[in-house]
Amino acid sequence: MAKRERDFDRPHAAYASLSVVQTHLARLQECLRELQADRIAEIADRLWAVAKSGGQILIAGNGGSAATASHMALDLGKSTLGRDPRRAALRIRTIALNDPGPVITAWANDHGYERVFAEQIVTLARPGDAVVFCSVSGNSPNVVAAARAARSIGTVVIGLLGRPGGTMRELADLALIVPSEDYQIVEDAHLAISHMVTRSLIAAMESTAASGRHAASRPLAIRKRRHGR
């Protein structure tokens, strides 16, 4: 009898799982269609400007957003170099502030969890750098405190947020609001946005490299005239 009951339950469980998957896919697809492509491109352009000038990109988040921050830092710092790192390629300096566990626990233990990102920013960030915050609510106290610290230093503050954006919406120089209140959908979208930004920077690096090759192939006299020398 017990075996027959288990067999009977399986089709129902499979149907329930399929329904959950289809619902999540439909919500995610709708959300991605509504993303502001021009705002994502604007964020990529701003990060490229920081990287070209030798600035550093710091990224932070909590929980699932911490994993996204770590993933984004890895992609910007390594994936932009290609599978076989090009020696002449620009090295984009990135760090995920949630990665160094001893640093986080030290600040949290001595000064409270609210300061774990802000204090690192005070130490590491400089004017002309950029700080990217991944936060579904936009209200996490440690993210808000870090954004204020970053603004006081003169770094570019970028927020990848969920709807409606919370306090971070006003603190960020560039805020991208994912049009959903479902934290799982927002986190999915944030990772997709991270990949879009990475691809944009790869394209920018390849374009810059191609321009350099073209300039090098022109006669020296032409290059001097074009640069006013």
Residue 113 has what pLDDT? Answer: 97
Whether 29 and 62 share a structural domain = no
- Of 62-71, 101-110, 185-194, 203-212, where does mean pLDDT reach its minimum? 203-212
- Report whether pLDDT(13) > 80: no
Average pLDDT over residues 206-219: 64
Residue 16 has what pLDDT? Answer: 85
pLDDT tens digits, 43-72? 999 999 999 999 999 999 999 999 999 999
Residue with the two structure tokens 């691809």: 199
Average pLDDT over residues 180-185: 97
Decide which of 25 and 85 is more confident. Answer: 25
Average pLDDT over residues 75-103: 89
Give the rounded percent of residues in the chain with a pLDDT score beyond 70. 86
Residue 100 has what pLDDT? Answer: 83
pLDDT band at residue 9 under the 50/70/90 scheme: low
Residue 209 CB partners (closer than 8 Å, separation 6+): 86, 88, 89
pLDDT tens digits, 122-163? 999 999 999 999 999 999 999 999 999 999 999 999 999 999
Domain span at 19? 1-33
d(CA 171, CA 150): 10
The total of other beta-carbon atoms located within 10 Å of residue 66's CB is: 18
Q: Which helix (H) or strand (E) holds 48?
A: helix 37-52
Whether 175 and 111 share a structural domain = yes
DSSP, res 115: G
Closest CA to 90 of 193, 196, 207, 226: 207
Burial readout 164-190 (b: 16 or more C-beta within 10 A, e: otherwise): ebbbbbebbbbbbbbbbebeebbbbbb
For the chain, how many structural domains are there in total? 2
Decide which of 188 and 219 is more confident. Answer: 188
Whether 14 and 127 share a structural domain = no
Decide which of 88 and 17 is more confident. Answer: 17
Whether 139 and 210 share a structural domain = yes
Whether 88 and 165 share a structural domain = yes
Closest CA to 59 of 91, 32, 99, 12: 99
Whether 13 and 105 share a structural domain = no
- What is the CATH number for 219? 3.40.50.10490
Whether 19 and 106 share a structural domain = no
Average pLDDT over residues 96-106: 94
Residue 70 CB partners (closer than 8 Å, separation 6+): 59, 96, 98, 99
